[in-house]
Amino acid sequence: MNLTLKVWRQNGPQDKGKLETHQLTGVTGDMSFLEMMDVLNDQIIRDGGDPIAFDHDCREGICGMCSMFINGEAHGPGRGVTTCQLHMRSFKDGDTITIEPWRASAFPVVKDLAVDRGAFDRIIQAGGYVSVNTSGETLDANAIPIPKADADEAFNAATCIGCGACVATCKNASAMLFVSAKVSQFALLPQGQPERKRRVLRMVEQMDKEGFGNCTNTGACAVECPKGIDLTNIARMNRDFLNASLTGE
Amino acid sequence: MLDSKIPGGPLADKWTQYKNNIRLVNPANKRLIDVIVVGTGLAGSSAAASLAEMGYNVKAFCFQDSPRRAHSIAAQGGINAAKNYQNDGDSVHRLFYDTIKGGDYRSREANVHRLAEVSTSIIDQCVAQGVPFAREYGGLLDNRSFGGVQVSRTFYAKGQTGQQLLLGAYSALSRQISKGKVKMYNRHEMMDVVLVNGKARGIIARNLVTGEIQRHSAHAVVLATGGYGNVFFLSTNAMGSNVSAAWKAHRKGAFMANPCFTQIHPTCIPVSGHYQSKLTLMSESLRNDGRIWVPKKKEDAEAVRKGALKPTQIAEEDRDYYLERRYPAFGNLVPRDVASRAAKERCDAGFGVNETGEAVYLDYASAIERYGKTEANVRGLENPNAEEIRRLGKEVVKAKYGNLFDMYRQITDDNPYETPMKIYPAVHYTMGGLWVDYNLMTTVPGLYAAGEANFSDHGANRLGASALMQGLADGYFVLPYTIGDYLAEDIRTGAIANDSAEFMEAEQAVREQLNRFVSNNGTVPVDDFHRRLGRIMWDNCGMARNKEGLTQAIADIASLREEFYAKVRVPGTTTGFNPELDKAGRVADFLELGELMCKDALEREESCGGHFREEYQTEEGEALRRDDEFTFVSAWEHQGNPSQAKLHQEELVYDNIELKQRSYK
Ligand SMILES: Cc1cc2nc3c(=O)[nH]c(=O)nc-3n(C[C@H](O)[C@H](O)[C@H](O)COP(=O)(O)OP(=O)(O)OC[C@H]3O[C@@H](n4cnc5c(N)ncnc54)[C@H](O)[C@@H]3O)c2cc1C
Ligand code: SF4
Ligand code: FES
C-alpha cells in the first residue's frame, strides 16, 4: 500500500515543532507500525535527511517505551495494543496517517515523537513499593496464603506498562489510571497493608507536583490503555486517599 | 592459568562457608565507597538496590528512558526455584543436576550449586515485595513445568513473569533512589570502562538526550548489561539489547567466555518479510500443553505450503509428532537446543509448513479437548457434547495462555484457538559472556559481570526459566557478598579522581569514535550492515555450524566491518538526541563480536548444547560431545583483531556429577 504520513517534528522541548509530510510506498499489512517507521527512516537516511526520532525497545507490547499518537488516538486505532503491536493491516492503501507525540505538560518532548516520562518514575519513587530489604531472610513464600481472586486482581493492576497512553488520551492529562494501578496492586495484597495509607498520600502528592491534571471521570484513559487497566482502580484509590486523608498516615 | 577461585569444602557447604569467611565492610566505611552498576534489568536493578541497602553509594545506568524498561521485562514463562511445593521430588540437588545436564556439562559445578541453593530465597523475597505470582484456589503459589526437567518448579505470573519480577526489583531500586542511596542515570549509555593501575575505577558515559560525555569514578564497576543475541540482527531480544558494554570491557582486558554458545529458542513466530525488525517468542510454557508436528507426507506439506490444504484437514495418522516420536521420555518438553534442531531437521527435509518452508505446527487441539473434559467433570456436566467440551477447554487454555494467544493473533492474523500455530526457532539468549570467577569478577580486578552478561551458570544450553533465576540470584544474593570481600581493601582509598590521565584518555577515545561516525561521508544506513551481519551469523554460526562455513564467515565479517567504516551514514551530530549514532556504536561492536563467535565455534571441535558442529554428531544426529578434549571453558583475551584473540582454558572438574551423553529418550 501507499501512504501519506504527516509526522510531528520537534527539535527539543523549546522548539515549536511542526508536521512534516512524507510519502511511503510498498507498505505491507504484515508490517508492524514501527517497522513501517523503520522503512520510512531508511528512506530518509538514504536521501540524506534527518530520521524521525521515536522511542521503542521490546516491540512486543511489554516495555512501555513506544508512544505514538496516531490519527488522534494513543497507540492508534487498535484496542488493547501498543504502537509496536499495531499492524499495518489496520490501514488501507491511500490512507493519510498523522503521527504525533504524547502531549502533556508533564511529558516534555525530547525530540520528534519521543517524550520524557520521568514523572512516572518519580511517582513510583514516592511510595510505589513495599519497604522490605532484599536480604532473602523473609517469610517463606507460602506462609501467607492469598485468595486467588485477590492475587489475580493485584496481578491485573500490576500489568500496567507505564506507557503514558492514559495521560496522552485524557483531556486533562491526568495520571490517575497509572497511579491507581500501582496503588491497587499493593492495596489488594497483604504485603501492601502496613504502608497503605502512606503510599497513597505520597504518590498522589507527587502526581500533583508533577503537573498532571485532575480526573473528571471521562474514562477515556481506560479505553486507550493497552493493558486494559480498569477504572475501578481509580475508584479504589480515591477511597483509599480519602480514608488516609481523614485518618492520617 | 585462569583461577576460578572456587572455595574448598564439600559442594553443598561451599557457599555457606564462603559467606562465613569473607571480609565485611563496616557500615561507616561503606558510606565511603562508590559502586557503579551498569544496567537495570533483573541483575542490575537487584544488585543496585541491594548494594544501596547495604550502605554503598551506587550510581546506576540504563539506556532506556526508565529502569523499568530493561529487556528483562519481556520474559514470559517463569522462574525456577527448588521449593518442592508440588511435592514431586524436587530439591536443590535436583535443580543443580538438571542445570548441569541441561547445559550439556559445560558449566561450573560450584556456581550452579550456589544458584540452586539461593533459588528458594528469590521466591520468598519477591513475594515479600508484592510480586503477584500465580496462585491456586487454596491461596498457595502455583507452578508449571518447563523443558528439560521432570518436575514442576517454575513460578510464574501469567505470561508476564519477567515484567512482574522486574517491577519488583525496580520498586526496590526506586525505594533506594528516593533515599538518595542510588543515583539513577536514565538514557545514558556506557561508552567505556576506565582502568586505573589495572583496576576498574569508573566508566565513560554518554547522555543520550544531550550527547554530553561524562566521566564517572567508583571503587568497583558492575556490568549487568544483558546478552548479545542481537548480533544476529533478528532475535527475540529487545531492539536496544547490545554487547557494547561487555565488548568495551573485553577490549580493556576482560576475557570473553564461550562466545559461540547461543540459545536458539524452538518456539518463535516465523519470519514474515525482509522489513522484519525482530522476532517474537511464544513462551516455552506453551510446550507444556501444545503438541509439535509436521505432516508425515511430503505431498501434504507441499499442499499446505501452497495454501491448498489446511492443517486441521490432515488426519491424525498423517501427522508426525516428531518430538514425541524421537524422544518418548521427554516428548515435547526436551531442552531447547534439541527441540530447535529437530525442527530444523524436519524443515530441511522438506516438511516445513509455511511459504518459506521454515515453520512447524504447535497444536492446542488435544489440550483444549483434555482440559475441556476435566472441566466438564469438575462442573458435574453429564454427557457434554464435543462442542461444549471444546468451549470449556478453550476457557481453560485462555486463562493459562490467553495473552500469548492474543499476541500470536495480533502478529499473524491467525486464530490459534481454531488452527495450530506456526513456529520456528529463533535466536533468544546467549550463554556465553564475560568470563567471571566464583565471585562474579571478570579478569579485570574490580570489574564484575552479572546476569546474562556473564557466562557463568548455563554451560552450552540454558534451561527455560533459569535466566530470571540467575539474574536475581546474582543481584540480590551473590554480588552483595562477593563484592564486599573485594571492597574491604578499599576502605582507606578515598574517592577516586575522575580527572586522572586514564579518564581523560578514555574520554578522548570515545569522542574520536563518535566524531568519526558523524563525519563519515557514507550513504548506507546502519541497519543495512546489521542485517547483513545477522545473515552471515545465522547461516554460519546458527543452529548448525561447520568448519568451512565458519572460516568463510570470519573473512566475510572482517570485510563487512571495513565496508561499514567506509560507507556508513550516521546522520546528525554528536550533540542532541541521535538514536542512529547510538546504533552505529553498537553495530560496530557486534561486527567485532561476530568474528570472535565464529572463531570460538571453529575451534570448539565438538558438539555440545546449542553449539552443533555438523562434523561431530552421533549416528542418530544427536550432538556428540568430546569430553576428553573439550571439557573446558574457552576464555578469549583480546589482542587486536577479534580473530587473533588468545585462548585461555578453564578446566571444568566434575566431582559430584558423572559426565554422560545427554539422553532425553
Ligand atoms: C522474549 C524473551 C522471553 C524470555 N523469557 C524468559 C523466561 O520465561 N524465563 C527466564 O528465566 N528467562 C527468560 N528470558 C531470558 C531473560 O529474560 C534474560 O536473560 C534476562 O532477563 C536478562 O536479564 P539481565 O538483567 O541480565 O539483562 P537485561 O534485562 O537485558 O538488562 C540489560 C540492562 O543493561 C542496560 N544496558 C545495556 N547496555 C548498556 C550500555 N552500554 N550502557 C548503559 N546501559 C546498558 C540496559 O539499559 C538494561 O537496563 C527471556 C528472554 C526473552 C528475549
Ligand atoms: S494505565 Fe494503561 S495507559 Fe496508563 S501507563 Fe499503564 S498501561 Fe499505559
Ligand atoms: S516497544 Fe515495548 S511496548 Fe512497544
| Same domain? A75 vs A151 | no
Distances in Å between the alpha carbon of B521 and those of A47, B562, B565? 13, 14, 10
B-chain residue closest to A80, CA distance = B406
Q: Summarize the confidence of residues A193-215 as an average pLDDT.
A: 97
Whether A54 and A98 share a structural domain: yes
The answer to whether B481 touches B135, Cβ cutoff 8 Å, is no
Q: How far is the CA of B70 from the centre of ligand 1 (A)?
A: 6
pTM (two decimals): 0.97
Task: Please check whether residues A73 and A147 belong to one and the same domain.
Answer: no
* Domain total in chain B: 2
Cα A149 from chain centroid (whole Å): 25
Q: Using most ligand atoms within 8 A of CB, pick from B36, B468, B470, B586 the residue to mutate for ligand 1.
A: B468
Mean pLDDT, residues A28-52: 97
Closest ligand relative to A120 C-alpha:
2
Share of chain A above pLDDT 70, in %: 100
- pLDDT higher than threshold 80 for residue A20: yes
- What was the pLDDT predicted at B90? 96
**Ligand 1 pocket member B280 (CB < 6 A):** no
Confidence grade of residue B16 (pLDDT, cut at 50, 70, 90): very high
Element counts in chain A: helices (H) and strands (E): 8, 7
Are both B421 and B506 inside the same structural domain? Answer: no
Greatest alpha-carbon pair distance for chain A in Å reads: 64
Same structural domain for residues A32 and A128?
Answer: no
Task: Summarize the confidence of residues B334-357 as an average pLDDT.
Answer: 93
Contacts 24+ apart (CB under 8 A), B345-353: B345/B621, B346/B294, B346/B320, B346/B322, B347/B294, B347/B424, B350/B298, B350/B301, B351/B294, B351/B295, B351/B298, B351/B301, B351/B320, B352/B294, B352/B301, B352/B305, B353/B294, B353/B295, B353/B301, B353/B304, B353/B305, B353/B311, B353/B422
Helix (H, G, I), strand (E, B) or coil at A241: helix
User: What average pLDDT does this structure show over B308-332?
Assistant: 95
Provide the shortest C-alpha distance from residue B33 to chain A (in Å). 20
Q: What is the CATH number of the domain that holds B517?
A: 1.20.58.100
B35 lies in a domain?
Answer: no
- Closest residue of A to B210, CA-based? A110
Q: Are residues A215 and A231 in the same domain?
A: yes
Here the CATH number for the domain that contains residue A133 is 1.10.1060.10
| Cell (9 digits) for B615 | 562434523
Domain carrying residue A126: 118-247
Give pLDDT tens digits for B624-649.
Answer: 999 999 999 999 999 989 999 999 99
- Boundary of a domain, candidates A56, A76, A110: A110
Cβ–Cβ < 8 Å for B286, B403 = no
What is the distance in A from the centroid of ligand 3 to the CA of A84?
5
Mean pLDDT, range A103-117, rounded to an integer? 97
State the pLDDT at residue B285. 81
Instruction: Determine how many CB atoms are found less than 10 A away from the CB of residue B99.
Output: 28
CA distances from B434 to B243, B441, B527, B647 (A): 10, 9, 26, 14
CA B650 – CA B647 distance, rounded (Å): 10
* CATH for A74: 3.10.20.30
Q: What is the pLDDT of residue A57?
A: 98
Question: B315, exposed or middle or buried, with CB in 10 Å at 0-12, 13-18, 19+?
Answer: exposed
Tell which A residues from 174 to 203 touch B, by Cβ distance under 8 Å.
185-186, 189, 191-192
Within this chain, do residues A95 and A136 fall inside the same structural domain, yes or no? no
pLDDT score of B1 more than 90: no
pLDDT, residue B13, reads 97
Q: Are strands A3-9 and A96-100 parallel, antiparallel or unpaired?
A: parallel
Answer yes or no: is pLDDT of A249 > 80.
no
**What is the C-alpha separation between A103 and B632, in angstroms, rounded?**
56
Question: Both A133 and A105 in a single domain?
Answer: no
Range of the domain at B599: 500-631
Given the CA of residue A57, which atom of ligand 3 is nearest to it?
1
B188 or A135, greater pLDDT: B188
Residues 6+ apart with CB under 8 A from B200: B193, B194, B220, B221, B444, B445, B446, B447
Instruction: Check whether residue A137 and residue A61 sit in a common domain.
Output: no
Interface of A with B in 111-140 (CB under 8 A): 111, 114, 116-118, 120-121, 124-126, 128-140
Of the candidates A84, A110, A136, which is a domain's last residue? Answer: A110
For residue B181, is it within any domain?
A: no
Separation of alpha carbons A92 and A85, rounded Å? 17
**Ligand 2 near A170 CB (within 6 A):** no
**Predicted pLDDT of residue B214:** 98
Ligand lying closest to the C-alpha of residue B277: 3
With vertex at residue B291, the alpha carbon angle to CA B285 and CA B296, rounded to the nearest 5 degrees, is 150
Average per-residue pLDDT in chain B? 96
B184 domain-assigned: no
Cell numbers standing for residue B243? 554487547
| Other beta carbons within 10 Å of B414 | 12
Is A65–B65 a contact, with Cβ atoms under 8 angstroms apart? yes
Residue B281 falls inside a structural domain: yes
Are the C-beta atoms of residues B635 and B457 closer than 8 Å to each other?
Answer: no
The predicted pLDDT at position B452 comes to: 98
Main-chain phi, psi angles of B582, to 5 degrees:
-60, -45
Decide if B317 is inside a domain.
yes
Question: What pLDDT is stored for residue B622 in this prediction?
Answer: 87
Q: Looking at the predicted structure, is the pLDDT value of residue B145 above 90?
A: no
* A41, A121, A152: residue with CB nearest B66: A121
DSSP string, A124-192: HHTT-S----SSS-S--TTSS---HHHHHHHHHHHT-----HHHHHSTT---HHHHHHHHHHHHTSGGG
Do the Cβ atoms of B132 and A42 come within 8 Å?
Answer: no
- Does residue B120 belong to any structural domain of this protein? no
Which chain A residues are within 8 Å of B126, Cβ to Cβ?
141
Q: Does B343 reside within a domain?
A: yes
Judgement on whether residues A63 and A23 belong to the same structural domain of the protein: yes
What are B561-592's pLDDT values in tens digits? 999 999 999 999 999 999 999 999 999 999 99
Q: What is the pLDDT of residue B77?
A: 86
Is a pLDDT exceeding 90 seen at residue B544?
yes
Q: How many domains is chain A built from?
A: 2
pLDDT digits (tens, 9 = 90+) for B473-520: 999 999 999 999 999 999 999 999 999 999 999 999 999 999 999 999
Question: The cell 502478529 sits on which residue?
Answer: B411
- Give me the mean pLDDT over the B531-560 stretch: 97
Per-residue confidence at B147, pLDDT binned at 50, 70, 90?
Answer: confident
- CB-closest option in B157, B280, B523 to A60: B280
pLDDT given at position B272: 87
Distance, in Å, from the CA atom of B70 to the CA atom of B164, rounded to the nearest integer, reads 12
Which positions of B are annotated as active-site residues? 336
Count interface pairs A-B at CB distance under 8 A. Answer: 222
Averaged pLDDT for residues B383-409: 91
Give B212's contacts (C-beta < 8 A, 6+ positions apart). Answer: B206, B575
Question: Do A85 and A132 fall into the same domain?
Answer: no
In angstroms, rounded to a whole number, what is the distance separating the alpha carbons of residues B593 and B341? 24
Which of A110, A126, A155 is the last residue before a domain boundary?
A110
Q: Please give the C-alpha separations between residue B338 and each of A158, A159, B334, B625, in angstroms, as whole numbers.
A: 35, 33, 6, 14
Distance from CA of B482 to the nearest CA of A (A): 14
Report CA-CA distances (Å) from B139 to A145, A152, A188, B313.
4, 11, 14, 42
Residues 137-156 of A with CB under 8 A from B: 137-142, 145-148, 151-152, 154-155
* B155: DSSP letter: E
Residues 73..102 of A with a Cβ closer than 8 Å to B: which?
78, 80-81, 85, 87, 89
Q: Are residues A80 and A149 in the same domain?
A: no
Closest residue of B to A199, CA-based? B175
For a ligand 3 pocket test, name from A33, A35, A59, A87 the mutation site with the most ligand atoms within 8 angstroms of its C-beta: A59
The answer, yes or no, to whether any atom of ligand 1 lies below 6 A from the CB of B61, is yes
Task: Tell me how far the alpha carbon of residue A61 lies from the centroid of ligand 3, in angstroms.
Answer: 4
Q: What is the pLDDT of residue B335?
A: 86
Q: From CA B343, how far away is CA B358, in angstroms rounded?
A: 9
Report the C-alpha gap between B218 and B483 in whole angstroms.
13
CA of B238 from ligand 3 middle (Å) equals: 9
- Check whether A137 has a pLDDT greater than 90: no
Report CA-CA distances (Å) from B617 to B100, B266, B337: 20, 20, 14
Q: Is B659 inside any structural domain?
A: no
- Same domain as A125, residue A105: no
What is the per-residue pLDDT for B527? 97
